[in-house]
């Protein structure tokens, strides 16, 4: 086995709510998990599309913001020390003779796991790219469609394009990191959470962000990395302007694609993976499961709460597959407590047994 390979029991593809909760259920069975996600942060759609929107049908939560749900899930699974490969898309899968799998990502990171659980939602989110010819050659050379590590931009000149939450939020964040932040949008109006819009306004007033609207970036230039962008003001004069910069970050939202998973030999129906819902949400390939929005079966509902249930049954089946000879009975967390892989233990407080007398 190659030395630099990531090894785990269950490899979860997709770090949305379903994938995250699977870590918890696996942890109760002492199975280790590692997650791959094409996005730069865990949470899937909840973090990327609507972190500030409320969800009303999570059992036990009359109302919870999607972003808070992710934060809570991350806290819940922390004792089970999941590993993450973020900002990389699961690309290829290979089944070994012993029944285990090797999954490689778009960036070549290899993962070896006994079980693969696809919790890929609607697929990997691919950034919408601006229609600029030859822009690909600057990718990872000053051009980025998502921000993985904001420190990369410390003391750099950054141009951000876009009019949504991520353009607003990253402009706010980078205003205190980068030496220069220019925010460009096709329109004068931005669409985002009220406090984000207001904060950007404050930073523009304080001259910490240079705002150029309505305008569009038409071209990128530079020898072997981004050195400047060509901008057109969308006013009557259609004035052109060259902005020198170290980085160009177009944040035009993301479009989901089932992507390479569609070529793994899995049975697909209407962009979703067919699974056995009478038992364990296993696909047509033994050892590969599909849970959450990515799967389909008669009566399927794409709800987070259904994904949680599917993740739970998947883990039980995965355990039996890994340890076919072991007998196991499900134990309530209230009874058994939680033993983290980090040595932490949570358990219910013991009741006291004590005589109550009369003085």
Partner 1 sequence: MTDVNVTIIDREGVEHKVLAPTDMNMNLMEVCKAYDLPVQAVCGGMAMCATCQCYIISDHDLGERNEDEQAMLWEAQNVKDTSRLGCQVPITEKLEGLIVELAPEE
Out of 255, 265, 286, 344, point to the residue binding partner 1 (CB under 8 A).
255
Alpha helices in the chain (DSSP H): 17-28, 45-48, 66-77, 165-175, 194-205, 304-322, 333-336
- Pairing relationship of beta strands 157-161 and 247-250 according to DSSP bridges: parallel
Residue 350 interacts with partner 1 (CB under 8 A): yes or no: no
Select the span of 85-93, 134-142, 249-257, 320-328 touching partner 1 (CB under 8 A): 249-257
Select the span of 25-33, 87-95, 248-256, 343-351 touching partner 1 (CB under 8 A): 248-256
Residue 201 interacts with partner 1 (CB under 8 A): yes or no: no
Q: What's phi and psi for 121, nearest 5 deg?
A: 55, -130
Out of 189, 244, 267, 269, point to the residue binding partner 1 (CB under 8 A).
189
Residue 252 interacts with partner 1 (CB under 8 A): yes or no: yes
Residue 300 interacts with partner 1 (CB under 8 A): yes or no: no
- Cα dihedral 158, 163, 165, 170, rounded to 10, equals 10
Smallest gap from Cβ 50 to partner 1, in A, equals: 6
Q: What's phi and psi for 274, nearest 5 deg?
A: -75, 135
Select the span of 25-33, 162-170, 199-207, 232-240 touching partner 1 (CB under 8 A): 162-170
Question: CA-CA distances (angstroms) from residue 356 to 121, 305, 349, 350, 359?
Answer: 56, 44, 20, 18, 10
Out of 83, 127, 164, 259, point to the residue binding partner 1 (CB under 8 A).
164
Measure the CA–CA gap between 89 and 257, rounded to whole angstroms: 11
Residue 259 interacts with partner 1 (CB under 8 A): yes or no: no
Smallest gap from Cβ 199 to partner 1, in A, equals: 18
Question: CA-CA distances (angstroms) from residue 275 to 57, 287, 311?
Answer: 24, 12, 13
Q: Please compute, for residue 56, the number of CA atoms within 13 A of its CA located in the half-sphere on the CB side.
A: 0
Out of 207, 236, 270, 327, point to the residue binding partner 1 (CB under 8 A).
270
Residue 51 interacts with partner 1 (CB under 8 A): yes or no: no
The contact set with partner 1 (CB under 8 A) reads 45, 49-50, 53, 122, 128, 162-164, 186-187, 189, 191, 252-253, 255-256, 270-271, 302
């Amino acid at each position: 086995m190659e030395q630099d390979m990531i090894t785990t029991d269950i490899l979860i593809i997709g770090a949305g709510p379903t994938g995250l909760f699977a870590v918890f259920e696996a942890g109760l069975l002492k199975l280790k998990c590692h997650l791959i996600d094409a996005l730069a942060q865990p949470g899937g759609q909840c973090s990327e599309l609507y972190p500030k929107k409320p969800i009303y049908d999570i059992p036990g939560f009359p109302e919870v913001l999607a972003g808070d749900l992710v934060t809570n899930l991350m806290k819940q699974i922390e004792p089970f020390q999941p590993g993450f490969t973020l900002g990389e898309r699961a690309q290829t899968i290979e089944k070994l003779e012993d029944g285990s799998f090797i999954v490689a990502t778009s960036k070549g990171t290899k993962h070896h796991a006994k079980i693969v659980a696809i919790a890929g939602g609607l697929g990997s989110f691919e950034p919408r790219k601006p229609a600029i010819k030859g822009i690909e050659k600057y990718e990872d050379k000053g051009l980025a469609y998502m921000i993985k590590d904001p420190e990369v931009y410390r003391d750099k000149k950054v141009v951000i394009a876009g009019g949504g939450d991520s353009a607003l939020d990253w402009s706010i964040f980078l205003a205190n990191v980068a030496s220069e932040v220019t925010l460009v949008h096709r329109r004068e109006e931005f669409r985002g959470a009220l406090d984000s819009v207001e904060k950007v306004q404050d930073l523009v007033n304080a001259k910490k962000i240079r705002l150029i609207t309505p305008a569009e970036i038409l071209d990128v230039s530079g020898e072997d990395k981004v050195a400047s962008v060509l901008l057109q003001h969308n006013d009557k004069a259609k004035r052109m302007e060259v902005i020198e910069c170290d980085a160009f970050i177009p944040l035009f939202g993301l479009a989901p694609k089932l992507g390479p998973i569609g070529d793994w030999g899995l049975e697909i129906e209407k962009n979703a993976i067919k699974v056995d819902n009478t038992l364990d949400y296993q696909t047509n390939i033994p050892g590969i499961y599909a849970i959450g929005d990515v799967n389909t079966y008669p009566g399927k509902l794409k709800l987070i709460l259904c994904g949680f249930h599917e993740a739970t049954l998947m883990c039980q089946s995965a355990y039996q597959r890994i340890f076919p000879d072991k007998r196991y009975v499900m134990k309530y967390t209230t009874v058994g407590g939680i033993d983290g892989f980090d040595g932490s233990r949570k358990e219910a407080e013991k009741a006291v047994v004590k005589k109550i007398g009369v003085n």
